[in-house]
């Protein structure tokens, strides 16, 4: 088997290079104030026009980060229906680094609905749960 | 299409020879501005002949510690390669097929020493 050290390096590119699994998947998503939003569970890519004859000049583009309840499919396999994923559009991503920072407030994203629901319906009903500790 | 549809898919040459399985997708942020960053296009697929996944990318970076783990994970990912999107002919029935004469590249991320 050919060792990768024998293979040529790919043609250089002008933009930043990210390996999707290595640099994006499972990274935490934070909003500009450092509030956790969710984690990157998958990526949504634009659909090629024809999967039987892929166009070399129009590669798929990342359209959104996806997050959702994927624990079961990771353990047992299979694929979660697309409708169960929550989309975070790529256009709000500000910095895909050690954590993925988005440029909008966590409260404005659907991905943080569970946090908001818990805050409003559970934490908020606990005495003292609606203000900062004194 | 979601990324998981591609990950784990077998990759065949134009002659039908199995090269391995897709373990990652390399993205390049060099498209037109899309919000706060450039659009991220799929540049190619990282293919591993011996495993269906890659852990921590030891075979693509210059990281070599802890030494025992690095050696094991590099051995597990031996023979990994990068195929560019332009060399992909089709993606049907969860199988990626390459064009005739497709070039295999090193999966190493540039800027990382060997």
The ipTM estimated for the assembled molecules is 0.85
pLDDT above 50: residue A30: yes
The CA distance from B95 to B93, in Å, is: 5
The predicted model gives A98-121 an average pLDDT of 85
Return the beta strands (E) in B1-114 as ranges.
10-12, 18-34, 37-48, 81-84, 88-92, 95-98, 104-105
- The predicted-structure confidence for A34-86, as pLDDT tens digits, reads as follows 988 889 999 999 999 999 999 999 999 999 999 988 888 878 888 888 888 89
The answer to whether the CB atoms of A22 and B57 lie below 8 A apart is: yes
- Cβ-contact B26, B111 below 8 angstroms: no
Search chain B and give the residue with CA nearest A70.
B4
The predicted model gives B9-30 an average pLDDT of 94
- Cβ-contact B45, B61 below 8 angstroms: no
Q: Cα angle at A13 between B17 and B61, to 5 degrees?
A: 70
Of A1, A47, A56, the CB nearest to B85: A56
- The predicted-structure confidence for B73-86, as pLDDT tens digits, reads as follows 888 888 899 999 99
The answer to whether the CB atoms of B56 and A22 lie below 8 A apart is: yes
Question: A64 CA to chain B: closest CA distance, Å?
Answer: 9
The answer to whether the CB atoms of B24 and A22 lie below 8 A apart is: yes
- Cβ-contact B98, B87 below 8 angstroms: yes
Residue (of A61, A81, A60) closest to A70 by Cα position: A81
Reported for B63-69, long-range contacts at CB under 8 A and 24+ positions apart, including other chains, are B63/B112
The CA distance from A25 to B83, in Å, is: 20
pLDDT above 60: residue A3: no
Percent of chain B with pLDDT over 90: 54
- The predicted-structure confidence for B36-75, as pLDDT tens digits, reads as follows 889 999 999 999 998 787 788 888 887 888 888 888 888 8
| pLDDT attached to residue B63 | 80
Instruction: Establish if B37 touches chain A: CB-CB under 8 angstroms.
Output: yes
| pLDDT attached to residue A1 | 46
The answer to whether the CB atoms of B43 and A13 lie below 8 A apart is: yes
Question: A124 CA to chain B: closest CA distance, Å?
Answer: 35
Domains of chain A by start residue, with CATH: 19-125 (2.30.30.240)
Search chain B and give the residue with CA nearest A87.
B2
pLDDT above 60: residue B113: no
| pLDDT attached to residue B114 | 41
The CA distance from B78 to A3, in Å, is: 6
Average pLDDT, chain B: 88
Residues A60-92 as b or e (16 or more Cβ within 10 Å = b): bbbbbbbbbebeeeeeeeeebeeeebbbbbbbb
The dihedral sign for the CA sequence A80, A90, A40, A15:
positive
B96: left (phi over 0), alpha (psi -120 to 50) or beta: beta
The dihedral sign for the CA sequence A27, A32, A34, A37:
negative
The CA distance from B57 to B8, in Å, is: 15
| pLDDT attached to residue B85 | 95
| pLDDT attached to residue B112 | 54
Residues listed for chain A: 134
| pLDDT attached to residue A117 | 87
pLDDT above 60: residue A2: no
Instruction: Establish if B64 touches chain A: CB-CB under 8 angstroms.
Output: no
Domains of chain B by start residue, with CATH: 3-100 (2.30.30.240)
What number of CA atoms fall less than 13 Å from residue A119's CA on the CB side? 9
pLDDT above 80: residue A4: no
The CA distance from B23 to B55, in Å, is: 9
């Amino acid at each position: 088997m050919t060792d990768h050290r024998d293979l040529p390096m790919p043609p250089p590119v002008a933009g930043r290079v990210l390996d999707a699994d290595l640099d994006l998947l499972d990274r935490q998503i934070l909003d500009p104030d450092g509030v956790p939003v969710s984690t990157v569970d998958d990526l949504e890519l634009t659909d090629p026009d024809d999967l039987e004859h892929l166009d070399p000049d129009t590669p798929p583009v990342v359209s959104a980060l996806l997050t959702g309840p994927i624990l079961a499919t990771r353990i047992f396999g299979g694929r979660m229906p697309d409708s169960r994923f929550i989309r975070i559009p790529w256009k709000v991503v500000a910095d895909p680094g050690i954590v993925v920072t988005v440029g909008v407030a966590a409260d404005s994203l659907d991905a943080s609905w569970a946090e908001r629901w818990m805050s409003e319906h559970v934490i908020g009903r606990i005495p003292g749960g609606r203000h900062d500790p004194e | 299409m979601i990324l998981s549809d591609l990950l784990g898919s077998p990759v065949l040459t134009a002659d039908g020879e199995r090269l391995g399985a897709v373990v990652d997708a390399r993205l390049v942020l060099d498209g037109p501005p899309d919000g706060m960053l450039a659009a991220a296009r799929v540049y190619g697929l990282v293919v591993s002949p011996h495993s269906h996944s890659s852990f921590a990318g030891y075979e693509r970076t210059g990281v070599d510690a802890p030494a025992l783990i690095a050696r094991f994970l590099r051995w597990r990912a031996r023979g990994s390669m990068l195929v560019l999107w332009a060399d992909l002919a089709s993606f049907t029935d969860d199988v990626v097929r390459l064009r005739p004469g497709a070039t295999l590249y090193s999966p190493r991320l540039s800027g990382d020493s060997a």
